Amino acid sequence: MFSIKKLCIRDNFIKILKLSIPLILTGASLELMGITDSIMLGRFDTKELAYYTLSNSIFYLILEICLGLLLGTLILSSEAFGKKKFSKCGCILKRSIPYAIFISLISIIICSQGTYIFGLTKQTYLVAKKSGEILSIMGLITPAMLIYGCYIYFLDSIEQVKIPMIISFITNILNIICNWIFIYGAFGFEPMGAIGCAISTLISSYLSLIIIITHSKQNKHILKFIRKAKINNKDMKRQKELGYAAGISMGLEETSITLLFIIIGWIGTNELSIFGIYYTIICILFMMSRGIGQAAAIMIGAYHGKKNYHASFMSGTNSLVISIIINLLFIIIIYQFSHHIYGFYTTDKIIYNTLISLTPIFLCGLLFDSIQTTLANILRGRGETWFLSYIQFGISNFIMLPTAYILAISYHLGLKGILISYAITTTMLFCAQITRFIYLHKKDINNSILRRILYRLKIHNKFYSFTK
């Protein structure tokens, strides 16, 4: 019996790894766009990097909320796939696309008011103007990003995870070429700096969307999910509820980072550039951790559809172990080769030396941040709704932001104070989520035992009535 259990754990571990690797590579390649943007802009002009970093802080806040609102697509489609209701998976995709278009139109309107938004945060006129112009261009990307996101969630749920990975690598190559043309002014074009970088992202995002739609319409395996699917709004209420909870949770997490950027903007443009470089590293590990978490969410959703709670818990635990191992490995690599890594980003000696000196504090926060990202996705796969929103709101607003302001501004610690508050917050989020994960598993087991007892009593009563 022990060997059978051990075999099941090993098989589950291998399955998560097989699902995770393409998801991690997809996420990492998408973040590679951000890294290449930062490197190419940093070498062009550090002020341009500061404007782009500030505009991205608002853009990614909006994008994370929107992608969170669409996360119900992944969870419900995974459950339908687990129950072998394939046409329902296609139905969930089809009804998600109009919803994504509606959300993206609202996003474009918000992003068009970028200069006004940055003006409200008491940035200097030049910073607000430049960052606002970039944000208005970035807003035009949201329709492509959100529809692409719907397809990604759908393909992930039916375990077709290699397609997005290949597309994202193609997009990266195009983005580097476009950056070279529009940032530096290759082939006779005028150098546009951060504006050119935003245009490059716009072009590559719409190309990704065209490729994924074309592939989905030509792939026979995918067509069997989509062709016979009819739009049915029966589960739309639950899909939206899952999306609202995820959107608010992811939005609160991203809002806290955005507010940190605003506080850093008050300190200075050099500090803004430094945190922008740190943020690209955060995003890489975030996407890797989210990839592992999404793989777990897919499996947990499928097992919950079958009411196999033991396998659901096993998937969550194994994915957590994988996340810890991978993140620790990457953090050791970053620490050992930090001199070479930061050398790619900037040639400014002041920025470079500050990056090196603050790396240990930054990596402490990064480790717990990455692991709690995996845990958050595990809980969403389990069907968790509002708990994540509550803890994100509570810890971010009542602990991280006040601590950051007090340490950075009141005690004049600057960026060091920001990073200390980041480390405290991510540790607390990890502790809250791991506690919730264990509690939900115990609740599932207790409910399962209760259902079995009630079922046996029902059978016994029926038999007793028949014999009587």
Per residue in 308-362, pLDDT tens? 777 788 888 888 898 999 999 999 999 999 988 888 877 788 888 999 999 999 9
pLDDT for 245 beyond 80: no
The domain segmentation of the chain, as residue ranges, is 2-467
**Residue bearing the bigger pLDDT, 423 or 453:** 423
> What is the residue whose two structure tokens read 């940190």?
260
pLDDT of residue 463: 42
Interval 262-283 mean pLDDT: 84
Nearest alpha carbon to residue 384 among 444, 449, 308: 444
Tokens of 409: 């501004």
The alpha carbon of residue 453 and the mean position of all alpha carbons in its chain are separated, in whole angstroms, by: 41
Cα(306)–Cα(299) distance, integer angstroms: 11
Tokens of 465: 């009535």
pTM of the shown model: 0.69
Interval 17-37 mean pLDDT: 75
pLDDT for 253 beyond 90: no
pLDDT of residue 85: 79
- Lowest mean pLDDT of 88-97, 247-256, 306-315, 339-348, name the range: 247-256
Interval 399-408 mean pLDDT: 90
pLDDT of residue 449: 66
pLDDT for 461 beyond 60: no
Task: State the SS3 of 49-117.
Answer: HHHHHHHHHHHHHHHHHHHHHCCHHHHHHHHHHHCCCHHHHHHHHHHHHHHHHHHHHHHHHHHCCHHHH
pLDDT of residue 453: 66
pLDDT in tens, 274-309: 888 898 888 888 888 888 887 888 788 777 766 777
> Long-range CB contacts (< 8 A, 24+ apart) of 393-396?
393/252, 395/425, 395/428, 395/429, 395/432, 396/252, 396/253, 396/255, 396/256, 396/425
pLDDT for 442 beyond 90: no
246-255, 296-305, 320-329, 446-455 — which one is most confidently predicted on average? 320-329
